[in-house]
A and B are shown apart, each in its own frame.
Chain A
Amino acid sequence: MSKFKKSSSKELPPISTASLPDIVFMLLFFFMVSTTMREVTLMVKVTLPQATELSKLEKKSLVSYIYIGTPHQQYQNVFGNEPRIQLNDQFATLRDIPDYITSEREARDEAERPMMITSLKVDEFTKMGIVMDLKQELRKMAALHINYSARKKAER
């Protein structure tokens, strides 16, 4: 009887924190694996348009990105506030597109090159003029497979 009493003493035993690091590590590994680091710092403002018929970009390694949008505030006194093209980490013009596509191709394996996709991340308020010019450049470079990046729209 006395034994029973002792085990139900008023003081709660402290919760063991020995497994806390293990739990945290588990979370850590999950995030490490699922993380894709932002590769470029965006210098243009891109708000993607909305669409419903989306398809996912399966292989990230095959995708090269082209951004179009108005430059952020701190670049506006140099680059103006008209929509500009951004490739990698710098502003570009249409004349840089062929070089960019070529260098992106060079960076991939020979076998993967036909499957490459160019993802266009274009701000929704951009006028089509610059996009049409860009598409013509892509056609000249035979980078025909493109993806108009868009956000998922809630079902009507």
Chain B
Amino acid sequence: MARKVPEIPSASLADIAFMLLIFFLVTTTMDVDSGLERVLPRWVDPEEIDDDTPPIRERNVFIVLVNKNDQLMVEGEPMDVENLREAAKEFMANPYDDEDLPEKELKEVPFFGQVEVTKGVISLQNDVGTTYSKYIAVQNELVGAINDLREELARSQFGKPYNNLTRDQQDAIRTIYPSKISEAEPKKVGGN
């Protein structure tokens, strides 16, 4: 004859679950990490740098300097961060084949055929005393300029936002507007 086991009270079950719930609520960090993604240039030993590589022509380089007072100099002219994006876009696109803006070379790109691809390179140089937030603001504008150009091209060619394209289509657009932002080797110069 089996004895009747008294029923386990389940009234406190909710309390226990609530306690766990509150613990997880408190420890949760929901924020997804996001940021500006960049790829650094490969390390080259200073002694092994050979000067045989042909120098890049001046019209093909978009020089952005940030000094220790967080002031910007773009192509020899002082500039505000707000105007940087437009300037960088004009440089990378060079819509009117301006003499001072970068050269283009013909390239075979899938989906597009023969396209003139810019040879422009954006060079970003900063001082040791530049604040990080300014540096990120400048980086953001430069990345944004290239993203804008890609977006425009995606919409005019495929009629869709860049993010909705297939991988091949994105690759094609990336060859036309490469993300060429070079971060110069830190220069050891006095007087800052």
Interface residues of A (CB under 8 A from B): 17, 20-21, 24-25, 27-28, 31-32, 34-38, 49-57, 60, 63, 117, 119-120, 122-129, 131-132, 135-136, 138-140, 142, 144-150, 152
Q: Give the complex CA separation of A88 and B132 in angstroms.
A: 22
A61 to chain B, nearest CB (A): 12
Chain B interface size, as a band, is 35 or more
- Say whether B40 contacts A144, CB under 8 Å: yes
- Say whether B144 contacts A132, CB under 8 Å: no
Which of B10, B21, B35, B40 has a CB less than 8 Å from the CB of A27? B21
B130 to chain A, nearest CB (A): 4
Indicate whether A128 sits within 8 Å of B34 (C-beta atoms), given known contacts A32-B24, A135-B40.
no
Q: Give the complex CA separation of A36 and B40 in angstroms.
A: 29
- Say whether A147 contacts B132, CB under 8 Å: no
Q: Kindly identify, within residues 119 to 167 of chain B, every residue whose CB is under 8 Å from any CB belonging to chain A.
A: 126-133, 135-137, 139-140, 143-144, 147
Which of A20, A63, A122 has a CB less than 8 Å from the CB of B132? A122
Q: Give the complex CA separation of A129 and B132 in angstroms.
A: 9
- Say whether B28 contacts A131, CB under 8 Å: no
The reply to whether the CB of B186 lies closer than 8 angstroms to some CB of chain A is: yes
Enumerate chain A residues within 8 angstroms of B143, measured Cβ to Cβ: 53
Which of B14, B33, B39, B136 has a CB less than 8 Å from the CB of A17? B14
Minimum CB distance partner of A38 in chain B: B29
- Say whether B129 contacts A119, CB under 8 Å: no
With A49-B132, A51-B139, A135-B40 given, name 19 new contacts (CB 8 A): A21-B13, A21-B17, A24-B21, A31-B21, A31-B24, A49-B133, A51-B136, A53-B36, A53-B147, A55-B37, A56-B33, A122-B132, A126-B132, A128-B126, A128-B128, A139-B40, A139-B41, A146-B39, A148-B139
- Say whether B130 contacts A55, CB under 8 Å: no
Enumerate chain B residues within 8 angstroms of A145, measured Cβ to Cβ: 37, 39-40
A137 to chain B, nearest CB (A): 10
- Say whether B36 contacts A148, CB under 8 Å: yes
- Say whether B24 contacts A148, CB under 8 Å: no
Enumerate chain B residues within 8 angstroms of A27, measured Cβ to Cβ: 21
**Selected A-B contacts with CB under 8 Å, 17 pairs:** A21-B14, A24-B18, A31-B28, A49-B133, A53-B140, A57-B33, A119-B33, A124-B131, A124-B133, A128-B129, A131-B135, A132-B128, A145-B39, A148-B35, A149-B34, A150-B34, A150-B136
Minimum CB distance partner of A148 in chain B: B36
Enumerate chain B residues within 8 angstroms of A63, measured Cβ to Cβ: 33
- Say whether A152 contacts B34, CB under 8 Å: yes
- Say whether B126 contacts A31, CB under 8 Å: no
- Say whether A146 contacts B186, CB under 8 Å: no
Indicate whether A128 sits within 8 Å of B132 (C-beta atoms), given known contacts A53-B36, A57-B33, A139-B42.
yes
- Say whether B30 contacts A34, CB under 8 Å: yes
Which of B21, B35, B42 has a CB less than 8 Å from the CB of A55? B35
